A and B are shown apart, each in its own frame.
Chain A
Amino acid sequence: MTTETDRLLVQRCLGGDARAFEELLENYKNQIYSFIRRLIENPQDAEDQTQETFIKAFRRLDSYDPAYPFITWLFRIAHNASVDFLRAKRPQTVSIDDEDAPLELEDKGDCVETAVSVKMETERAERLLASLPPLYREILLLKYHEELTGREMAEVLGIPEGTVKIRLFRARALMREKFNAMARPETAEKSNAVKNFCRKNF
């Protein structure tokens, strides 16, 4: 969806065209749900918060500033909803060694071997991401998964661009620590130090 198309749809919504909102909903629901789910983790809670996000978006549509892409504004609402939810209910950070919590994701790849390999890689990426505090998870998702610019991320998170850069730097450093800890089991002490660092920063 282009920014211009989104603006036209928002104008139509404000003019009373309900179908325009349904179109926006259809275009962005999976994107917002995936973002919230990777912060909140529980699928049902994530879906509830996604519904809340879109309901709030509909009710506050007249406050949308066309200077920013619509998706940025949606992510802002999703971020606020996730933060409020997480503050009310402190999540359990998934351990990277937890083999009892398989993640259900779609298979990619044409043959079984490729599909299994891709699925394993995806699961590894999901576990790595889930082991980070939500603060760093969301910045990595916004930067690399949603490909937002620094300015857009600052708008979504409500922080200055400089803070975005610092947070991104720390997120990548932490990701590297986690990755290395996973690759080298003998550095369990270092992994614990990283976990303590996570607890302090969340």
Chain B
Amino acid sequence: MKDPITDAEIAGLIASLPYYTVAKDFNRKVLAAAGIGAREALPARWKLWAERAVGTMAACWLGTAAFSVSLLVIMNIGDILPVLADPRAFSACVKFYALKAGFLAVDVLGFLSLAKALVVILAGRLNLLPYLAGSTLLAGSVILALSRHPAYARPGAARR
């Protein structure tokens, strides 16, 4: 007489059953029936991500510039108002600051050419380009991975 199957064997038999797979267009049908659009094509999603990234960075820079300018104006409002009231003083003031900006631009250009010379030297000695390319790819991958992680997703308002 064959020994009866044990509970453990029953458990093993059931647990070993494989999962069936649905048809390939299953997701599309469900999403269409639920009124949700299909996921956008890959290039469109990358384009959207790039647009959002550029937009965010531009907004940050513009915000910083607006903050700096407004802070400068507020801190020097006592000096600025009399100049604005007097047209000749205003004209002289504009020329003065234009000259100052010109000198500052020359300084910045000098700094940039120094930085360029440094990069050329380093690139010549260290073959910097592969390191830069690798670092950029790594940083981009980290940003992409973190931005898609559910923990950093926008929290929706829970409805009951």
Contact = CB atoms under 8 A, between A and B. Distances in A.
Given A62-B160, A176-B4, A47 B26 contact: yes
Nearest to A15: B156
Contacts of B22: 29-30, 33, 47, 50
Interface centre among B26, B33, B37, B160 (most CB of A within 10 A): B26
Interface residues of A, number: 57
Contacts of A121: 13, 16
B102 to A, nearest CB: 51
A15 B13 CA distance: 42
A68 B45 CA distance: 34
B42 interface: no
Nearest to B34: A58
Interface centre among B22, B31, B37, B39 (most CB of A within 10 A): B22
Contacts of B154: 12, 15, 17
Contact of A33 (B14, B20, B159): B20
B18 interface: yes
A37 B21 CA distance: 10
Contacts of B15: 144-145, 147
B150 A5 contact: yes
Given A12-B154, A34-B19, A25 B27 contact: yes
Interface in A114-173: 121-122, 124-126, 128-129, 140-141, 143-145, 147, 172
Interface of B: 1-2, 4-5, 7, 10-11, 13-23, 26-27, 29-31, 33-34, 36-37, 39, 150-151, 153-160
